[in-house]
Chains A and B, each alone.
Chain A
Amino acid sequence: MSRSKPIPPKLAERTLCWFLRHELAEEVLGDLEEKFYHTLDTKTLTRAKLNYWYQVIHYLRPFAIKHNRSNSTLFTMYQHNFKLTYRNFLKHRSQFLINLTGLSTGLACVLLIYLWVTDEKQVDKFHQNHTRLYQVMSNHTDASGITTWKGVPGLLLEEIQSTIPEVEYAAATTDAHEYTLSVDDSYFKAHGKFASENFLDVFTYPLIQGSKSVLSDKSGIVISESLAQRLFRTSDVVGKDMKWHFWGKEKLVQVTGVMKDVPEGASEKFDFLMSWDYFHDDLIEYKNWYNYYGRVMVVLNSEADENAVETKIDQILKENQEGGRVDLFLANYSDRYLNSKYENGIQAGGQIEYVRLFSIVAIFILFIACINFINLSTAKASHRTKEIGVKKSMGASKKSLIAQFFTESVLLSLIAMLSALFLVWLLLPQFNLITQKSLTLSFNGPFIITTISLIVIVGIFAGSYPALFLSSFDPIEILKGKLVRKPGEIHGRKVLVIVQFTLSIILIVAVGVVYKQMDFVKNKNLGYDKDNLVYFEREGRLIEDSESLLNELRDAPGISHAALSGFMIGGGNSTGGVSWEGKTPEDQLQFWEIKSGHGLVEMMDMEIVKGRSFSSEFGSDSTSVLFNETAIDAMGLEDPIGKTIQHYTGEKKIVGVVKDFNLISLHTAVEPMIFLYNPEDTHFIMAKLNQGSEAATLEHMERLYKKFNAGYVFKPEFIDDDYQNLYTSEERVGLLSSYFSGLAVLISCLGLFGLAAFTVERRTKEIGIRKVLGAGSLKIIYLLSHDFTKMVLVAIVIALPISFFIAREWLKSFAFKIDLAWWLFAGAGMVALLIAWLTVGIQTIKAAGANPVKCLKDE
């Protein structure tokens, strides 16, 4: 052996010594070293070292591993704690089950809400530059205040690109709209938008085929992978031709690129992109600084100051526009999904409110579930006083007892988390259906961290009070047989029950209010009859000749009316280009524009309060307009019929006034509206179907449609559906909050049930004696339940004002809302009281009916 001989790997040796039993060390180390040098004779050093490691790992066998049992007190203690926890769970099975059910449903709610909230927060965040990506927004000031729009003049784009160096990329686009595309003679409907050259630099949707310049060609089109499959049944489609149709316009376009489908987490979905230049040059008639048809986004470079750029952009508009009533500002694009609402020019929440709301609900529910644990463990403390007394007199420190109770609660919360994960897995499909998302349980880093911290937080929070409380018992008192009750204890438990029920009642009221408001929204008389109104787009031959189809529709069975309609739920076009007699520069009014043919007002059952509606009896109506009452009031016109106004398309005469109706959602008050008689430019055909035969009538309509427009897609839409769609998020919130509050109430009741069971158990003897002495069942029931009744009553008193306040806040977002009736609150209180009685009642009635002999004979 030479002096500088290689030696076995030190780390491996140390590892071996760490786990190997002491008495084996000598022989094993010797054997392994011999093996090492033996291997070295025939193999390389590395191989020998590797082999050494291999041998070490193979010593991980039960016979060779150290047994710590006898050595470490810490280890023994934990082992003991685990064993006790397990035995306690077995012994108090009902308490364990109540705690487990409560905690796991609570945790499941929290996890579901967590998944939803994180998903909501990720919307639009997939763009590479999302932190530097801004949308240019406009604030319009008029007499009624400031209104915020996402529209800006399309001319802004070039100015920004040429004059502001801090802007790395800028792009203009339109909102996604459903257009018709045709390949040869097959027609398809798909959502698309116009986008300028740099669109794909601003929004980093990946391209599968084509280069970055795909949007520079005026007759180019970029389609999504799935649209390519739909149109051509392959995604290798660059260079293929198709036609784009909209309102009599037709354009031959060529596929220049294929992009990946817009991901789930995008706020706006679309299937194809066409050239902004084409849109801007060929489709926009009124291309000026007063027409807000563009949506402009900018990506700032990393050093740019947002405020400075904002001012510069605003300045561009100010230089080109007279009047200065419009201010431009920047809003981070990916924040807009959650913060879309503006009130008087100031950001005022939006979807983020629901994100917050549900986060709070999650905390509520978890809190309620933890309270159950706290209450039941302190209530049942009497069962464990002996254990604590013995331990303390054997020398257990307060610290070690606290550790024991924490082990118990953390272990319980771990088990609860496991069953919660199972529950979530079970409920996720249903939850996705309600939330319209595709959430999955994926165990990525943040999710694992969340679950683990939830386990720890719940374990420690739920365990803290019992741990401190139980460990502070005086051992001498306990062992003497005295039940030491601190005066604050029962009091504390009561407070917690009150908190639980307060939270539950708030949730019940919330559900009631949301439900009532949604019911009100659905059934409110809108000022027109929205039922059974069906409409479809005028396309192909219907643009030149709609009258023949209209006539056939009017004659068809099952259809009572048919007319040309420009009526769109949620608005459509609006204009500030109206002036009237006595208009001052301060009177900036935006009017919703509804284009119409004959018979629309009658079909929709709107009321004419003055004058008449459009009618062929009065010759050509081409210069006639109707206003709604709000518009007339806002313009300050008295006796409006016959007066003339200036519209941006020419001079018009007011022939009638329509009673106010709700065109946009009930969140906003009725706004000024103008009806224009312009059948050539009215985009939809609308029909009123008779009740009962809708399906058959629709089929008939489709046959008629195909006769006129062979090949085109007949896609009828119901006004009623559009109206419902305005409230999907409220509807969803209503549904979700009813589920979650149901669970909260359930969990609270579980706790109450446990407490009641415990009280009855503890007072069995008392009840027996009372019965023997002649107390009736009713008396006993009263005795047992009046405590709980008082707690719930206190909870009601606390909860109702709070819930009234919350409900009023929520309703503020509606211009049309329900009155908060007293019975709604009284009802919620009654429900809570009834549920509490029911829960407690099962226990008390059983106890009251029991035979006193049975509970008194043994002792």
Chain B
Amino acid sequence: MKETRLGEFEEVLLLLVGILGEEAYAFKIAEEFEGQTKRAVSIGAVHSTLNRLLEKGFLTSEMGSSSPERGGRRKRIYTITAHGSRILSDSRDFKVSLWNQYPGFANG
């Protein structure tokens, strides 16, 4: 059975893939991650997690276009699968339900 739970880093990356759309490849995702969270991350770490998400079936990928600043090399573009977006919304719903049960914030 494949691991289907989602870690915090994985969840953020998954969301970033969704946000970036056509531009979702390892370098851009790492940049975006650093920009949004102010946390440093290496491309290797991002790549390795993306790879794991691929294996879990939350993402698919295909080779995209090349550009001159990468020495004419192509990039691997990631897209969220239906399974991936379901997992994301499940995760959000679960958290919202937890928030709702928390008396301190129940009304807010």
A279 at the interface (CB under 8 A from B): no
A63/B70 in contact, CB under 8 A:
no
Interface assignment of B69: CB less than 8 Å from any CB of chain A: yes
The interface-forming segment of B41-49, B89-97, B100-108 is B41-49
Measured between beta carbons, the chain B residues less than 8 angstroms from A178 are none
Q: Is the CB of A61 within 8 A of B48?
A: yes
- With A58-B42, A64-B48 in contact, is A31–B31 under 8 Å at CB? no
Q: Do A58 and B45 have beta carbons less than 8 Å apart?
A: yes
Which single member of B30, B44, B45, B73 contacts A30 (CB below 8 Å)?
A: B73
A818 to B43 CA separation, bound complex (whole angstroms): 82
In the assembly, what is the distance between CA of A33 and CA of B67, in Å?
11
Interchain CA distance A27-B28 in the complex, whole Å: 12
**Interface 1/0 per residue, B61-104 and A, CB below 8 Å:** 00100111111011110000000000000000000000000000
CB of A27 within 8 A of CB of B75, answer yes
Please encode chain B, from 34 to 54, with 1 for each CB lying within 8 Å of some chain A CB and 0 for all others: 000000001111011001100
Chain A residues with CB under 8 A of B48: 61, 63-64
Most buried by A among B26, B44, B73, B76: B44
Q: Assess whether A28 is interfacial by the CB under 8 Å rule.
A: yes
Contact of B74 among A1, A26, A35 (CB under 8 A): A26
Q: How far is the CA of A33 from the CA of B68 in the complex (A)?
A: 10
Partner of A34 from B27, B42, B44, B51 at Cβ < 8 Å: B27
A323 and B103 CA atoms in complex are apart in Å by 116
Beyond A27-B25, A57-B44, A63-B51: 12 further Cβ-contacts under 8 Å?
A26-B73, A27-B26, A27-B63, A27-B75, A27-B76, A29-B73, A30-B71, A34-B27, A35-B27, A38-B31, A55-B44, A61-B48
- B75's contact among A31, A37, A57, A58, by CB below 8 Å, is which? A31
- Contact present for A35 and B43 (CB under 8 Å): yes
Interface residues of A in 13-36 (CB under 8 A from B): 26-35
- What chain A residues lie within 8 Å of B51 (beta carbons)? 63
A54 at the interface (CB under 8 A from B): yes
CB–CB B69/A33 < 8 A: yes
- The answer to whether A59 has its CB under 8 Å from any CB of chain B is yes
State whether A27 touches B68 (Cβ < 8 A): no
CA distance A1 to B68 in the complex (A): 9
- Give the complex CA separation of A813 and B43 in angstroms: 77
Contact B70 A59 (CB under 8 A): no
Interface residue range, chain B: 20 to 34
For A63, the chain B residues whose CB sits under 8 A away are 47-48, 51-52
Residue ranges of A at the interface with B (Cβ–Cβ < 8 Å):
1, 26-35, 37-38, 54-55, 57-61, 63-64
B42 neighbours in A (Cβ, 8 Å): 54-55, 58
Closest to A37 in B: B69
Q: How far is the CB of A61 from chain B (nearest CB, A)?
A: 5
A27-B75, A63-B48 known; A32-B69 Cβ under 8 A: no
Q: When the two chains form their complex, are residues B44 and A59 in contact, meaning their CB atoms are under 8 A apart?
A: yes
Point out which of A28, A37, A57 has the most chain B C-beta atoms below 10 A from its C-beta. Answer: A28
Set of chain B residues within 8 Å of A28, measured between Cβ atoms: 26, 43, 47
Q: Which residue of A33, A57, A58, A61 contacts B70 across the interface (Cβ within 8 Å)?
A: A33
* A34–B73 CA distance with the chains assembled, in angstroms: 10
Complexed CA–CA distance, A63 and B44 (Å):
10
User: Known contacts A38-B31, A61-B48, A64-B48: does B63 contact A32 (CB below 8 Å)?
Assistant: no
Q: How far is the CA of A61 from the CA of B47 in the complex (A)?
A: 10
Residue of B nearest to A1 (CB): B68
- Distance to closest chain B CB from A359 (angstroms): 53
Q: Which of A33, A38, A57 contacts B73 (CB 8 A)?
A: A33
Write out the residue numbers on chain A whose beta carbons fall within 8 Å of the beta carbon of B47.
28, 31, 59, 61, 63-64
A60 surroundings in chain B (CB, below 8 A):
44
Using Cβ atoms and an 8 Å threshold, which residues of chain B touch A34?
A: 27, 67, 69-70
Q: Given A38-B31, A63-B51, is A31 in contact with B45 using a C-beta cutoff of 8 Å? A: no
> With A26-B74, A59-B44 in contact, is A31–B27 under 8 Å at CB?
yes
| B43 with A32: CB separation less than 8 A | yes
Residues of B with C-beta under 8 A to A59: 43-44, 47
Q: CA A28 – CA B26 in complex, angstroms?
A: 8
Contacts of A54 in B (CB 8 A): 42
Known contacts: A35-B27, A63-B51. The answer to whether A30 contacts B43 by CB under 8 A is: no
Give B84 Cβ to nearest chain A Cβ, in Å.
19
Instruction: Note all chain B residues with C-beta closer than 8 A to A29.
Output: 70-71, 73
CA distance A836 to B73 in the complex (A): 76
**Chain B residues, CB < 8 A from A58:** 42-45
Q: In the complex, what distance in Å separates the CA atom of A54 from the CA atom of B66?
A: 24
What B residues does A33 contact at CB under 8 A? Answer: 69-71, 73
Can you list 17 A-B pairs, Cβ within 8 angstroms, ordered by A?
Answer: A27-B26, A27-B73, A27-B74, A28-B43, A28-B47, A30-B75, A31-B25, A31-B26, A32-B27, A33-B70, A34-B27, A34-B69, A35-B27, A38-B31, A59-B43, A59-B44, A63-B48
**Shortest CB distance B67–A (Å):** 8
Cβ–Cβ < 8 Å partners of B44 in chain A: 55, 57-61, 64
